[in-house]
Amino acid sequence: MALLAALTLGTTAAQAATQPRDKAKLVNAKGRSLGGPYQRWVTRVKVPTVEGRVKVLLSGCPRRPSFAGCVFTKRTRTVYLRRSAPSQREVLLHELGHLFDLRVLGKADRRAFKRVIGRPRASWFRGVNPPAEQFAEAYALCALRKRITRRITGGYGFRTATRRHRRSCAIIHATVRPKSAPPSRPPNPPPVTLPPPQSQPPSGQPPAEQEPSLIDQLDDLLPL
C-alpha cells in the first residue's frame, strides 16, 4: 500500500527507490561472459535478479554429481549446474531464486511469502518441503511468466494458481527498495541447497513417471 501511494505521488525520491535492478551478469570460472543460452534466459526474466556478476559453473555440484544444480549459502554469487541435466533453464532460475533469497529478501518478505503458501509458522529452511525451496520454485515461475491461467505444480510440494502466483511475484517485485534498506540474512541457513533427489524404485520395477517440470506445464501457454 505504501509503495502504491509513493508511485502515485510520482516524486523523485519514490522513483529512485523503485528503479528496476540490472539483470545479473553470468560469468564462467575465469570471470568471462558465460557462453550458450544462459545469459539470454536471465536477461528475459520477468522479475528482479541479484545485481552484479554471478559465477555459473557447469561442472555440477561438488560432491553431489547426481544433482542438477545447487548453491552454497556461503558463496552467494555462485551457481553450480550439471551440464547434462534436463530443464537447465528451470534449474538455473530456481538456483537464482536461492541467491535472491540470500542476498535480497528481508524478514518481512519471507514472512509474507509464508503467508502466501499458507505456512506462516514454518521454519524457512527446515522441515519437509521448506518455504525456502518453495520460494525458489515460485521465483523460477515468476521469472518465466507474469501471469498464469491454471494450477501449476513444481518441486518440493510447490503448488500455485492465478492468485497465489500474482501475490508471490508481487513480493519479489516489492524488494526493489532504496539502497539504504539492506536485506536481512535468513536465520540458520543450511550449508547447501539442493534439488530433491529422485526416489529409486524397488528392484525389478520400472521407474515412476516424473512430475512435469514448470516449463513443461507452460508449454501450452504463450511461448517462453
The tens digit of pLDDT for each residue in 80-97 reads 999 988 899 999 999 999
Q: Is residue 14 included in any domain, yes or no?
A: no
Q: What is the pLDDT of residues 34-85, one digit of tens each?
A: 989 999 999 999 999 999 999 999 999 998 888 999 999 888 999 999 998 8
Which range of residues forms the domain containing residue 134?
A: 23-196
CA-CA distances (angstroms) from residue 182 to 73, 145, 179? 18, 27, 7
- pLDDT of amino acid 1: 33
The Cα 176–Cα 213 span in angstroms is: 29
Work out the mean pLDDT of the chain and round it to a whole number: 80
| pTM value > 0.75 | yes
Q: Is residue 202 part of a domain?
A: no
**Based on the structure, what is the number of domains in the chain?**
1
In a domain, 208, yes or no: no
Q: Note whether residue 150 is domain-resident.
A: yes
